Chains A and B, each alone.
Chain A
């Protein structure tokens, strides 16, 4: 083999080595970027939103010995229940909205989670909406819960979305 050929072979070996190293770097980087599910986040989001809505509805409202589910039922039907906020008499809708907002702010917002809470009735549309500005803007929820409560012939939808 001629001297020039030997040098070319040497050069080729270097080029192959460089290519191999680059290949490993790129393949490792790509495998590192693969989406692995964040178990904790998924669990927290799911349990937070689903469990949150259901526990909230069963919570004592502090008005006429009713829980929030019963209060919302009254709100979307005949509004017979009277409640008090700082001594002022209000109907069940005003009271439920005021207190649910307090709970949402003390819990979700305090944890840095923006929210949108809505109550709607089939055939009557939206009856209540409590939401943070961030959730109003953001079109994509990262988790949400939607429950239907039966009230006579109508269905009451309780919708909680985290943004």
Chain B
């Protein structure tokens, strides 16, 4: 009887040890996969941020849009009439496809704040049929109207779609 009891205790001990070991292994696996999925999400987010910023920089540096008078390298100056002409030229399928291959799915809009607020010029718009996400970058720019001899304080918003 005593021998049977001892054997039962030993079996119980073995079962307890196995349960603890399995618990520890499961805990480790769960933690590892949680961590990995978090890292993947973070990397994806960072890649998306980088893509958005690099597209914004690319758009802001387009020589086709810049003011004819050499502006300072430290800030961006767009010529209003070049912006309008650029937008019209994108209606040509060949030109449109060239810029689409360079910029990708994005929206680029210049919004004025001063001296007149609320003027909007969207000069590039290429949206995917199925938008899963979007990120916007804002860059302060000068929008020059050489005909009216006015320089607007404006923001360039580049919205990148994914």
Residues of B contacting A: mostly:
mixed
Cβ of B104 within 8 Å of any chain A Cβ, yes or no, is no
Cβ of B124 within 8 Å of any chain A Cβ, yes or no, is no
Interface residues of A in 31-82 (CB under 8 A from B): 32, 36, 38-40, 43-44, 47-48, 50-52, 54-56, 58-62, 65, 67
Cα–Cα, bound, A14→B56 (Å): 55
User: What chain B residues lie within 8 Å of A59 (beta carbons)?
Assistant: 114-115, 142, 151-153
Interface residues of B in 130-152 (CB under 8 A from A): 135, 137-142, 149-152
Chain A minimum-CB-distance residue to B16:
A14
Number of interface residues of B (CB under 8 A): 43
User: What chain B residues lie within 8 Å of A10 (beta carbons)?
Assistant: 17
A24's partner among B28, B49, B75, B150 (CB-CB below 8 A) is B28
Cα–Cα, bound, A72→B100 (Å): 43
Cβ of B106 within 8 Å of any chain A Cβ, yes or no, is no
- CB within 8 Å of A: which residues of B? 13, 17, 20-21, 24, 27-28, 31-32, 35, 38-39, 46, 49-50, 52-53, 56-57, 71-72, 74-77, 113-115, 117, 135, 137-142, 149-155
Residues B149 and A65 in contact, CB atoms below 8 Å apart: yes
Cα–Cα, bound, A163→B154 (Å): 21
Residues B140 and A52 in contact, CB atoms below 8 Å apart: yes
Residue contacts A-B, CB under 8 angstroms, 21 given:
A14-B21, A17-B21, A17-B24, A21-B28, A24-B31, A32-B38, A36-B46, A39-B50, A40-B50, A40-B52, A40-B137, A50-B75, A52-B140, A54-B74, A58-B75, A58-B151, A59-B114, A59-B142, A59-B151, A65-B149, A99-B114
Cα–Cα, bound, A24→B24 (Å): 12
Cβ of A133 within 8 Å of any chain B Cβ, yes or no, is no
Question: A20 CB to closest chain B CB, in angstroms?
Answer: 8
A60's partner among B17, B141, B150 (CB-CB below 8 A) is B150
Question: B44 CB to closest chain A CB, in angstroms?
Answer: 14
Cα–Cα, bound, A111→B113 (Å): 13
Cα–Cα, bound, A21→B150 (Å): 67
| Total A-B pairs, Cβ < 8 A | 100
User: What chain B residues lie within 8 Å of A50 (beta carbons)?
Assistant: 74-75
Chain A minimum-CB-distance residue to B27:
A21
B53's partner among A40, A99, A103 (CB-CB below 8 A) is A40
A44's partner among B39, B137, B154 (CB-CB below 8 A) is B137
Residues A18 and B117 in contact, CB atoms below 8 Å apart: no
User: What chain A residues lie within 8 Å of B20 (beta carbons)?
Assistant: 14
User: What chain A residues lie within 8 Å of B135 (beta carbons)?
Assistant: 40
Residues B117 and A106 in contact, CB atoms below 8 Å apart: yes
Q: A18-B24, A39-B53 are in contact. Are A111 and B138 (CB under 8 A)?
A: yes
Residue from B56, B137, B153 having most chain A Cβ neighbours under 10 A:
B153
User: What chain A residues lie within 8 Å of B71 (beta carbons)?
Assistant: 58
User: What chain B residues lie within 8 Å of A153 (beta carbons)?
Assistant: none
